[in-house]
Amino acid sequence: MSAATGKAGHAAGRWQRWQAWLGARREGADVLLPVRVGGTEYRQTTATPAHVLGFDTALLWVVVLLLAFSLVMVYSASIAMPDNPRFGTIAPTHFVLRHAMAIGMGFVAALIAFQVSMNAWERMAPWLFVASLVLLIAVLVPHVGTMVNGARRWLSLGVMNFQPSELAKFAVLIYAADYMVRKMEVKERFFRAVIPMGAAVAVVGALLLAEPDMGAFMVIAVIAMGILFLGGVNARMFFLIAFILLLAFAAMVWLSPWRRERIFAYLDPFSEAHALGKGYQLSHALIAIGRGEVFGVGLGASVEKLHWLPEAHTDFLLAVIGEEFGLVGVLALILAFLWLTRRIMQIGRQAIALDRVFSGLVAQGVAIWLGFQAFINMGVNLGALPTKGLTLPLMSFGGSAILMNLVAIAVVLRVDYENKLLMRGGRA
């Protein structure tokens, strides 16, 4: 037999073996994967195909696309910053390079977070919460916390300023999920199930209001409330807590003259009293979105970012997107966040269906966090809600926010990975 005939025979044999394996897979049989060892010898391995055991690649790609779009828009919104004397002598790429560095650090932190099992996160929950409290206290210490625009919210780490309130969102989320698992037996009792968690959130809120950072406190309160509700707390107790929180936030606004002024400016941003004061950002955000109309004025052609709209690369990035990409761009972004939130919720529900309550509550808590914060930011940019200093998740310039957003997404992917592992008969 010639060498050519021998090679053809070996190739035909390989093809037949693969066809037999694929046919068995289609019929639902739990067969082993044939792997070549050397020459023409094959052996069986228990390796599971990557698409079965891997994490949710669709979710990962949507996050990557949002981050890529954020790089483009942060560069577009900040390219004129060097012309502003307030920022000194900086390069046109100053903010986009820092944003790219934050995304890079976020990916490294996310890779590390993905390696941590959900059992380990559950064990670390109380200690992570305590660490976030320590950092929130450190921010308020003179010469330790960094003050920017009258607010003391950052710790200087040299390469970047870290905002402990972003860590606090994640820490409260993990702690609340762990708390609900521990209190599952007494979740119908108000004082034993709800009061301790309420006290923990109140302590965090007091530290955040001292900075001040009411926006972060709102997000943390909603995360905790959402996890309590999804964890099975009695509906009457839930609505009672929600009513108390609404009264508390209303009192905070009413008793604070500058917060009260923001509400009045939101109601009439173009009035003579507010157009150059508390309503300045909102009025120019609305002008930017109005200029964009349906299809926008084109990438880079925004006028409002040229020192008319303050903080265009952070809190009001959506206004620049609306001006440059119009209604189509804004709707596309809204749909992306809706899909992202729904997908993460589905992963959480799947974990609970597999009797992994902690993992499920963590995933659903991340969905509440990203969805609620995106809703508030978009509402502010569109004039539907009063101005509040919250960034657009995964999009706005802000190192610590991007870092913690990516860590949270990595934990969700870990939940999905462990779900699939369990469904294949393994151990999470």
- Determine the Cα–Cα distance for residues 206 and 23; give it in Å rounded to an integer: 62
DSSP summary character for residue 81: G
Pick from 279, 277, 276: nearest CA to 267: 279
Domain chopping of the chain, boundaries:
3-45, 53-423
CA dihedral 229, 232, 237, 241 (to 10 degrees): -20
pLDDT score at 33: 41
| pLDDT at residue 346 is higher than 80 | yes
Least confident of 55-59, 263-267, 283-287, 403-407: 263-267
Residue 220: phi, psi to the nearest 5? -65, -40
Assign 160 to helix, strand or coil.
coil
Residue 408: phi, psi to the nearest 5? -65, -45
| pLDDT at residue 194 is higher than 80 | no
Residue 213: phi, psi to the nearest 5? -150, 75
Pick from 101, 174, 163, 64: nearest CA to 411: 174
Q: Chain-centre distance of CA 179, in angstroms?
A: 21
DSSP summary character for residue 426: -
Rg (the chain; Cα; Å)? 26
Residue 56: phi, psi to the nearest 5? -75, 95
DSSP summary character for residue 235: H
pTM of the full predicted structure?
0.83
pLDDT score at 46: 43
Helix runs in 93-234, H state only: 94-115, 118-139, 164-182, 190-193, 195-209, 214-230
Q: In whole angstroms, how far apart are CA 117 and each of 123, 353, 413? A: 10, 19, 11
Residue 149: phi, psi to the nearest 5? 55, 40
pLDDT score at 49: 44
Helix runs in 312-398, H state only: 317-353, 357-381
Rounded to 5 degrees, what angle do the CA atoms 324, 326, 331 make? Answer: 125
Pick from 329, 332, 334, 347: nearest CA to 59: 347
Record the tokens describing residue 316, joined without a space: 């009001």
Q: Judge contact between 404 and 166, C-beta under 8 A.
A: yes
Which of 68-77, 250-259, 393-402 is modeled with the greatest confidence?
A: 68-77
Mean pLDDT of the chain: 83
Residues 145-163 have pLDDT tens digits of: 777 766 777 788 777 788 8
For residue 145, list its beta bridge partners: 155
H/E element, 37: strand 33-38
Instruction: Tell me if the bond preceding 393 is cis, omega within 30° of 0.
Output: no
- Determine the Cα–Cα distance for residues 158 and 185; give it in Å rounded to an integer: 46
Residue listed under structure tokens 């066809």: 19
Q: Percent of the chain having pLDDT more than 90?
A: 46
Q: Judge contact between 361 and 231, C-beta under 8 A.
A: yes
Residues 3-48 have pLDDT tens digits of: 445 545 544 555 555 555 455 545 544 444 433 333 334 344 344 4
Rounded to 5 degrees, what angle do the CA atoms 144, 147, 149 make? Answer: 175
Enumerate residues 6+ apart whose C-beta is below 8 A from 89. Answer: 82
Pick from 227, 223, 245: nearest CA to 369: 223
- Determine the Cα–Cα distance for residues 156 and 162; give it in Å rounded to an integer: 6
pLDDT score at 34: 39
Pick from 206, 204, 209: nearest CA to 220: 204
Enumerate residues 6+ apart whose C-beta is below 8 A from 330. Answer: 289, 292, 318, 321, 322, 378, 382
**Single-letter amino acid, residue 301:** A
H/E element, 34: strand 33-38
Region at 41 (left for phi over 0; alpha for psi -120 to 50; beta for the rest):
beta
pLDDT score at 392: 94
Least confident of 63-67, 196-200, 284-288, 401-405: 196-200
Q: Within 13 Å, how many C-alpha atoms sit on residue 210's CB side?
A: 15
CA dihedral 241, 209, 180, 233 (to 10 degrees): 10
